[in-house]
Amino acid sequence: ALVLATPTAIAAAIGNLTKHGILVKDGASIEELAQVNEMVFDKTGTLTHGTPEVIEVVSDNGDMMKLLASLESQSEHPLAKSIVKHYNSNDLYEVDDFRMYIGKGVTGKVNGFKLIAGNRKLLDMENIPVKYAHENREGSIEIYVAKDGEVIGKVFLADTLRSNAKKTIKKLRKLNMKTTLLSGDNEETGKIIANQVNVDNYKFNCLPEDKTEYIRQRQLNQNKIAMIGDGINDAPSLKKANVGIAMGSIGSDVSIEAANIALINDDIEEIPHLIAISRKALNVININIAFSLSLNILAMIMAMFGLLDPIAGALVHNIGSVIVIIYSSTLMNYRISRKEIEKQKKLGMTKHLNKSIT
């Protein structure tokens, strides 16, 4: 029975999660997730749909969009795909020496010109003076376009929030889970999303290494971190977190490979269920172990006093194993109740109060 205490509970929990469109790579992730106290979210493609659309183009150069679309056609980034889709033409220039700078933008030789497309960090890196800085659109992503060292225009893109994002954050907070948003967007754009979903904490203008460093610092303070993301940029953070969760449908192959868990249908509303069943599985494992140890000790004492012969001992052992399997199988159809949510919320408030007093 003792040998079956953990694997039966983990197998049942994984079976339950599979029915909810959640793929778990290894059982250890379930036990680790049960101890997580902070969920870190990427924004684009996670809390939002990840399919931003061009809402406005500001430029005096009539050829800018063709130049930009030609350059972005070399990239797999969602913003790049949206720009190419907006241009809506196969009439593109040839691109040479294409380079991508993670968290900043892209550069390349387009129709003989050195073209740069990205945020202000990329302009600063290339020592290009900023133009069109006064042009702002609330809640949008800004892409500056520079040709041969001079800004020739600016493109605004906007992403839409997932309809269940706010509900997911609310459920996680009820489970006493701290929620954090780490975004590469500027503060103005990121704050709009952060306020809409009501996360506990947020940081903007984050490069991939900034996200990884945030997780590292939180772990140094004895926190267990789960990270959820979808892009190549998120892979280092997914790997650094105690548990990495990737969007399985829209997520990149790199992020899925780096993660421990994948949401097959990209349904973030299943994350609270993932947390709840992980905690329940750990509870079942502990009860299984306590029951198995108690049964074994009792059987040993009875055998020492001649109250249990070998045949009866084998029977008791088998009955214990069956009980453990049956109890673990209750996880197969487990779904957290409102009563349990309120119980975990009160428990979390008590722990926080005790920590503040001490």
> For residue 5, which of 317, 290, 300 has the smallest C-alpha distance?
290
The CA-atom distances, in angstroms, between 305 and each of 134, 308, 312, 318 are 88, 8, 14, 21
- With a CB cutoff of 8 Å and minimum separation 6, the contacts of 357 are none
Question: How far, in Å, CA of 195 to CA of 199, rounded?
Answer: 7
Q: Of residues 26, 42, 60, 253, which has the active-site annotation?
A: 42
Alpha helices (H) along 126-207: 165-174, 187-197
Q: What are phi and psi of 36, to 5 degrees?
A: -70, 135
Joined tokens for residue 249: 């449908």
Question: How far, in Å, CA of 147 to CA of 116, rounded?
Answer: 7
DSSP 3-state percent helix, strand, coil across the chain (nearest 5):
50, 20, 30
Length of the chain: 358
- What's the order of all strands across the beta sheet hosting 261-263? 22-24, 261-263, 243-247, 225-229, 38-42, 178-182, 201-203
- With a CB cutoff of 8 Å and minimum separation 6, the contacts of 166 are 196, 197, 198
Let me know if 230 is a catalytic residue.
no
> For residue 35, which of 272, 279, 246 has the smallest C-alpha distance?
279
| Residues identified as active-site | 42
